[in-house]
Structure 1
């Protein structure tokens, strides 16, 4: 009988210990998915030109200047998106960003910058395919983050006009409508991609972009 009581007591201790470990693991997971701070460490010449290499192999060259960057050929507004694949709010913003990329076409360049994300090359390619991401993604975040003075967390976005001048930044989840209005102010009319049938129908009905707004 004493042995039976001792066995039950040991069993209870074991069960409680597993529960506690599971609770600790849950808490650890919650801490891991908290948005981290990323501080700028000015240990290099940030005025020198630098390249961002995209996952698809594209090279994007930038040069820091007062109030922004020289980048591209001046034909597009640029939106930098700092994020991570483990960040739930960041994932929520993928669909709106896809919509904006489609709506504005070549007038908007979205560069998605991975921050504190150890995801492998094959995994990120699978992630891109799964979420149908049609804008640029780069891992080269260190120099870029230093150049803008650091970020306090993710998701974090910075918007620049076609001349590379800083316009505004956003922290947290931002409504697609707000982003669209802010980008429209810099780009003008939307460059909406439509199929030939929609275009012909609009021409027949004499519907213009202004009429649709």
Structure 2
């Protein structure tokens, strides 16, 4: 009989440890519920990222869209863009730091740029992440691009979590990346 009391006490303790009290005094489970997958595609947070494939400066094909093992960060840029020049070294550091958890693609919108200038930019800033070329500007248009840089944060399920127009301080951008890869 005493043994049953100890077993029951252990079960109650275990259940209590897996529950937490909310601010109103009720009990809330600690388990995280998965958000339902969106079914709509579009260039907006909460929607599936529009899929695309582009050829990079290295001749390889890079694809975005659908479920992946890692999160994806897409930065649309042009070589003449001063904010892009400011952001390039930061993106290089972040791409290296999070390479195991996130793919970073620096999409050069070549329709607004010159290929030789894009290559010079990559050399000058010693960019180590893939540089796909959007030669006709169709992918930039697909993502409703309206400023350089335009950064798109896509989780591993292929859902856009955020679109950032322009640059932001490195620490703030890194905070957004940490949140992205935690999903």
TM above 0.5, yes or no, is yes
Match of 1:147 among 142, 148, 164: 142
Q: Secondary structure at the match of 1:133?
A: coil
What residue number does 2:43 align with? none
**Residue 51 in structure 1 maps to residue 53 in structure 2:** yes
Runs of at least 4 residues of structure 1 off by over 6 A? none
Distance 2:85 2:169 in 1: 14
Give TM-score, length-normalised by structure 2.
0.64
The CA deviation at 1:83 is 1.1
- CA-atom RMSD in angstroms: 2.3
Match of 1:119 among 114, 120, 139: 114
Distance 2:83 2:51 in 1: 32
**Residue 164 in structure 1 maps to residue 166 in structure 2:** no
Distance 1:152 1:139 in 2: 17
**Residue 131 in structure 1 maps to residue 125 in structure 2:** yes
More helix by share: 1
Distance 2:118 2:150 in 1: 19
Partner deviation per Cα, 1:132-156 (whole Å, 9 max, x = no partner): 10111122263322332x1221111
The CA deviation at 1:118 is 3.4
What residue number does 1:14 align with? none
Check 1:165–1:125 CA distance in 2 against 1; reply closer, same or farther (3 A cut): same
Distance 2:54 2:154 in 1: 16
Assess if the C-alpha contact under 8 Å between 2:92 and 2:127 holds in 1. Answer: yes
What residue number does 2:44 align with? none
The CA deviation at 1:127 is 2.6
- What is the number of equivalent residue pairs in this alignment? 132
Distance 1:172 1:49 in 2: 22
Check 1:55–1:171 CA distance in 2 against 1; reply closer, same or farther (3 A cut): same
Give TM-score, length-normalised by structure 1.
0.56
Assess if the C-alpha contact under 8 Å between 1:85 and 1:117 holds in 2. Answer: no
Structure 2 spans left out of the alignment, 5+ residues? 1-49
Distance 1:120 1:147 in 2: 21
Check 1:172–1:124 CA distance in 2 against 1; reply closer, same or farther (3 A cut): closer
Assess if the C-alpha contact under 8 Å between 2:76 and 2:140 holds in 1. Answer: no
The CA deviation at 1:181 is 1.1
